[in-house]
């Protein structure tokens, strides 16, 4: 029976009729070949389809669905202008900024496992991260340099968007969101500067927050501050530091701003920024040049 089946080229069920296995050796052999054939096309397996929702056969519809049906990729359109993927136009700086943010998020969470935001512990934790934690030094280095690189990337992104006039109608509002992201990026970096609780961070934050004393109306050395009852113990600098000096409370506040409040805020602005890029018609170009003679008054 089994011989006949195979001769006819039928797949499977060798040594098997009425649901029972008669010839175990044949059965295993056939099933094994079947399995090997299946694994050669992983895209047809249940597992693959459950994972990706779309078959892998390379046809336009599936290419589109790959982007559309994926949570992480759906911020992209399914198709873009063929010239828009050129590096020369975008410089890739917006995407690189976001990638660096992800790197910072990941390394930042890792660092948080080893760090206590208290004056007694913070500096020792940094020494510990550098000297005892496996790859801790590299972890801290990556976090630090990614932060610097992100600021450079954001500045250059802004420069590119300006040079290509991409802030013009209908993208004015998204430019403003971008300015906010620039400010948040620099504030994130600045709040992180204090966290090692070393001389560098301490004096940089001292210099930085001393400016807050001079804020008009809400700083005790600013114009009209004293007239409104501002002192060193109730003005905006006091609110930022949680005290009148850069001390334990300032460390805790910088930590909360750096690890929770600012990342949460910047994430919301990221969402709006990306969403508006799509709603405003995708990336701005390279679009066909417009001529002065075509300009309406």
Partner 1 sequence: MLGNWHQLWVIASNPDNVPVVALIVLVPFFTWFGLRQAKANDRLIEKLEKDPELARTHHRKTQPYHASWQKEVHVWPYLLRIELLAAIVVTVILLVWALTINAPLEELANATITMNPAKAPWYFLGLQEMLEYFDPWIAGVLMPTFIILGLMAIPFIDENPLGNGYYTYKQRRFAIWTFIAGFEGMWLVLTLIGTFIRGPGFMWFWPTQTWDPDRIEFLTTRNLDQIFGINGKWLAHILPASQQPYAELWAKGLFGIIPVGLYFIFAAWMFYKIITSTPFSRRIFSRMSLLQVVVMELLLVVMLALPITFFMRNLLRIKYVWETPWFNL
Q: How far is the CA of 288 from the CAs of 40, 162, 164, 279, in angstroms?
A: 46, 17, 12, 20
Among 11, 28, 39, 85, binds partner 1 (CB under 8 A): 85
Q: Report the C-alpha gap between 109 and 58 in whole angstroms.
A: 38
- Cβ distance to partner 1 smaller for residue 5 or 166: 166
52: contact with partner 1 by CB under 8 A = no
- Cβ distance to partner 1 smaller for residue 29 or 215: 215
C-beta of residue 258 within 8 angstroms of C-beta of residue 188: yes
188: contact with partner 1 by CB under 8 A = no
Q: Report the C-alpha gap between 206 and 109 in whole angstroms.
A: 26
Least distance between partner 1 and beta carbon 57 (Å):
13
Give the residue from 59, 8, 48, 2 showing the smallest Cα distance to 29: 2
Q: Report the C-alpha gap between 161 and 155 in whole angstroms.
A: 10
Among 15, 136, 201, 263, binds partner 1 (CB under 8 A): 201
Q: Return the residues of window 29-48 that contact partner 1 according to CB under 8 A.
A: none
196: contact with partner 1 by CB under 8 A = yes
Here the tokens at position 53 are: 């929702």
79: contact with partner 1 by CB under 8 A = yes
Least distance between partner 1 and beta carbon 176 (Å):
5
- Cβ distance to partner 1 smaller for residue 30 or 250: 250
Q: Report the C-alpha gap between 6 and 15 in whole angstroms.
A: 10
Here the tokens at position 82 are: 């063929």
Among 179, 228, 260, 268, binds partner 1 (CB under 8 A): 179
Q: Return the residues of window 215-254 that contact partner 1 according to CB under 8 A.
A: 215-216, 219, 221-223, 245-246
For 236, residues 6+ apart whose C-beta sits below 8 A from its C-beta are 212, 215, 218, 219
Using DSSP, state whether 84 is helix, strand or coil: coil
Least distance between partner 1 and beta carbon 38 (Å):
25
Least distance between partner 1 and beta carbon 236 (Å):
10
Q: Return the residues of window 115-174 that contact partner 1 according to CB under 8 A.
A: 123, 126-127, 130, 137-138, 140-146, 148-149, 151-152, 155-156, 159-160, 162-169, 171-172
- Rg (the chain; Cα; Å): 30
213: contact with partner 1 by CB under 8 A = yes
- Cβ distance to partner 1 smaller for residue 14 or 157: 157
């Amino acid at each position: 029976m089994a011989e006949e089946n195979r001769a006819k080229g039928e797949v499977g069920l060798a040594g098997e009729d009425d649901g029972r296995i008669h010839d175990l050796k044949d059965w295993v052999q056939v099933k094994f070949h079947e399995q090997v054939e299946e694994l050669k096309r992983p895209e047809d397996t249940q597992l693959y389809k459950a994972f990706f929702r779309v078959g892998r056969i390379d046809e336009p519809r599936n290419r589109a669905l790959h982007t559309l049906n994926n949570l992480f990729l759906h911020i992209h359109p399914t198709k873009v202008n063929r010239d828009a993927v050129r590096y020369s136009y975008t410089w890739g700086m917006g995407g690189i900024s976001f990638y660096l943010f992800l790197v910072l998020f990941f390394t930042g969470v890792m660092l948080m496992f080893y760090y206590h935001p208290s004056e007694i512990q913070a500096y020792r934790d940094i020494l510990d991260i550098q000297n005892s934690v496996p790859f801790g030094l590299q972890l801290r280095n990556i976090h630090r340099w990614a932060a610097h690189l992100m600021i450079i990337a954001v500045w250059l992104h802004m420069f590119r968007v300006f040079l290509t006039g991409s802030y013009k109608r209908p993208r004015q509002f998204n430019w403003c969101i971008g300015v906010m992201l620039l400010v948040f990026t620099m504030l994130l970096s600045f709040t992180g500067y204090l966290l090692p609780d070393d001389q560098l961070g301490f004096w940089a934050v001292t210099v930085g927050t001393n400016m807050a004393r001079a804020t008009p109306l809400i700083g005790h050395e600013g114009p009209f501050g004293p007239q409104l009852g501002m002192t060193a113990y109730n003005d905006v600098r006091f609110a930022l530091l949680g005290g009148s000096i850069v001390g334990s409370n300032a460390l805790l506040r910088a930590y909360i701003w750096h690890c929770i409040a600012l990342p949460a805020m910047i994430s919301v602005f990221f969402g709006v920024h990306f969403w508006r890029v799509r709603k405003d018609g995708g990336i701005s170009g390279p679009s066909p040049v417009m001529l002065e003679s075509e300009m309406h008054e």
